[in-house]
Structure 1
Amino acid sequence: MGSMPYRIDTHSHFLPPAYRQACIENGHANPDGMPYLPEWSPEAHLALMDKLSIRKSILSISSPGTHLVANDPALAARVTRECNEYAAGLKRRMPDRFGYFASLPVPDVEICLEEIRRASEEGCDGFVIMSNGHGVYPGDSSLDPVFDELNRRKAVLFFHPTTPTCPCSPQALEAGEKPIKAAPLASKYPNPMTEFFFDTARIVTNLFLSGTIKRCPDIKFIFPHCGGAMPPMLSRFTGFSTLVPGPWTGVAEQEAREAFMRQVWFDVAGFPFPGQLKGLMEAGATSSRLLYGSDYPFTKAEGVEMLAGKMDEGVQGMFGKDEVERIYHGNAEKLFS
């Protein structure tokens, strides 16, 4: 891998000790049906980065996020603050190696707004929101104040998938409905295997059809895992929205493709080769909108190394030298400049 460009990793995770313990104590010892909650340390992360020529990692909290228990805002506020403070301290100590996306614990709007202010003062590189917060999905009108504030700040906003959850509206929650997991194959397969991709498609669809992307032109959106299951759905959800009347904003496919070029990036964490990345390119992404991602430590070190090797092979078959440079580090450097 020595002949390939260095990498900037925009999809990698951290689990500070207090967060890991909070997950275990609040029902997330096996998040999303995974067989383990990984161990993590800055030292182990740096060792992997050095081995794979990853110059810098932009850290984030993965699923289940920092809002661990529905209707427990005090816990969400504490866990979120602890994680964001930890990441800020790590960046202060090693600014050339680590940046971070500050966690926003949707659906609690007031805590999110306070964290946007505090984390911005602490030097975060952007923010991370789960694909849903106990059944409230980005694009829901209840979250408009959060998105409006991020737009005002011209923020970078990274989404991470989590287990799909119903009821999918604040009104249902207010009526007393309890959030339940909506993953029918969870008894057989961990949710990251399939459900994460579907929930990513839901947020892309909802952000467009709610008008949020058009209303917030200054947010720089990062969608994970090549957009999940969104690419083959693009023509369908845009075409349906313009042909069938309903309580949504009609979005032409060309309008969505133009947004991809204006304010949307996609990371290539996971298994982009041999086929997934080609589907994303057909949906309108270009090499200037792609970002490297390792998904460490939820993808273990040996898996990160294996996938990095497959990516080295795959990009050389699809892109020219300058494009590979952009994907591996140039796009991230421009985005975070």
Structure 2
Amino acid sequence: MERIDTHCHIVPPGWKRYNEEYGFSQPDGMPAIPEWSPESHISLMDKLGISESIVSITSPGTYLQANNHELARKITRETNEELHEICSRYPSRFGFFASLPLPDIEGSIAEIDYALDHLHASGFTLMTNAHGVYLGDNDLDAVFKKLNERKAIVFMHPTTCSAAGDFNSPKPLNQYPSPMLEFFFDTTRAVTNLLLSGSVERHQNITFLVSHCGAVLPPLIERFTNFATIINASSTLSAEQVKELFKTRFYFDLAGFPFPDLIHGYLRVSDASRLLYGSDYPYTPGSLIEKQGAIMDKGLRDLFDEDTVRAIYSGHARKLLKLGGGENCEAA
């Protein structure tokens, strides 16, 4: 069965060199930046029945030195152009989400237009926080206004938790890499802030993609919506209103080991119509993706009929991203 991968990554040579130069050779506590090439990625895609992958830059993003907007703009532009060039060489296999140099507001607004009008990006990947400025923060309103004007897709990718102005502070349980636990919590922080700040309601034209099957949002919705009324948050959405937004304004990918357990929490707050396939390659090794793929196949077929599974694997992404064609890859 055909798959379209909306959560996978790319390690272009220029971006990798910048990471090594500015101290991110072991990003988020991981042992190393993984090796990547378009040929190895396509080989895995063929093995797994993935017809197209929408690649993106992952954590730490493209703002690699605190308070250096000029450098961030340079790295972001060069990296987006690298992604465009690679995708142009393999137009039937790759599309991409462009990066923004957040928290640089002016640079990000300029990059939105450039990435859409000149590089033909499918949307944008934003880290859950930009040096401690979380998505939904009022400081980012001008950027979200521009994204709203362009009716953009925003793929939120977790990064290491950070307080504003204190990017290099020690992190809790620092002996574990952030992707192991902290990424799920940071996704939850960002989505909660987007909701309670009113940013989601103010920017009706943005479609949000949430990583890892909703992370740890599902069991916390009743808690944060009820607390919102106590603290007089900017937005006091009810739990039911949040769930309705999840079913109309948000999509959720299946990267990050959602089977056999996480999927059931997700289904308490949204439904199959908002699910997208994701592999998290190459930060999840190909051999593990193959193993998890078999578990995912069984889990999806235990829950849904064949047409629904087909829509989750490719149909939803094809409609969302306005992709042409159909099944052109052998099933794994």
Q: TM-score, normalised by structure 2?
A: 0.94
Counterpart residue number, 1:331: 316
CA deviation map 1:58-94 (0-9, x unaligned):
0000000011111111221111111110111222222
| Cα distance in 2 for residues equivalent to 1:306 and 1:234 | 32
Give runs of aligned pairs for residues 163-182 of structure 1, distance below 5 A: 163-167=160-164, 173=165, 178-181=166-169
Which of 98, 120, 135 does residue 138 from structure 1 map onto?
135
Counterpart residue number, 2:61: 65
Counterpart residue number, 1:25: 21
Unaligned runs of 5+ in 1: 168-172
Give runs of aligned pairs for residues 153-164 of structure 1, distance below 5 A: 153-164=150-161
Counterpart residue number, 2:145: 148
Task: Give the secondary structure class of the aligned counterpart of 1:100.
Answer: strand
Q: 1:299 to 1:140 in 2, by over 3 A?
A: same
| Cα distance in 1 for residues equivalent to 2:192 and 2:169 | 20
| Cα distance in 2 for residues equivalent to 1:154 and 1:164 | 28
| Cα distance in 2 for residues equivalent to 1:278 and 1:326 | 18
| Cα distance in 1 for residues equivalent to 2:173 and 2:234 | 29
Task: Give the secondary structure class of the aligned counterpart of 2:134.
Answer: coil
Q: Tell me if 1:56 matches 2:42.
A: no
How far residue 183 of structure 1 moved from its aligned partner, in angstroms, is: 2.6
Matched letter for residue 3 of structure 2:
R
| Cα distance in 2 for residues equivalent to 1:134 and 1:27 | 15
| Cα distance in 1 for residues equivalent to 2:86 and 2:177 | 31
Which of 241, 258, 268 does residue 272 from structure 1 map onto?
258
Give runs of aligned pairs for residues 6-25 of structure 1, distance below 5 A: 6-25=2-21
Matched letter for residue 277 of structure 2:
Y
How far residue 182 of structure 1 moved from its aligned partner, in angstroms, is: 5.8
| Cα distance in 1 for residues equivalent to 2:27 and 2:215 | 19
Matched letter for residue 11 of structure 2:
L
Give runs of aligned pairs for residues 90-105 of structure 1, distance below 5 A: 90-105=86-101
Identity of aligned residues (%): 48
Which of 167, 173, 176 does residue 185 from structure 1 map onto?
173
How many residues get paired? 321
Task: Give the secondary structure class of the aligned counterpart of 1:166.
Answer: coil
Matched letter for residue 187 of structure 2:
T
How far residue 260 of structure 1 moved from its aligned partner, in angstroms, is: 1.0
Task: Give the secondary structure class of the aligned counterpart of 1:201.
Answer: helix
Counterpart residue number, 1:202: 189
CA deviation map 1:282-305 (0-9, x unaligned):
12x111100000000001111111
| Cα distance in 1 for residues equivalent to 2:194 and 2:90 | 35
Greater Cα shift, 12-21 or 82-91: 82-91
Q: Tell me if 1:230 matches 2:217.
A: yes
| CA RMSD in angstroms, aligned pairs only | 1.1
Which of 73, 77, 82 does residue 77 from structure 1 map onto?
73
CA deviation map 1:164-190 (0-9, x unaligned):
0013xxxxx4xxxx434463101x211
Does 1 or 2 have the higher relative contact order (CA < 8 Å, sep 6+)? 2
Q: Tell me if 1:126 matches 2:126.
A: no
Counterpart residue number, 2:289: 304
Matched letter for residue 98 of structure 2:
A
Counterpart residue number, 1:239: 226
Unaligned runs of 5+ in 2: 323-332
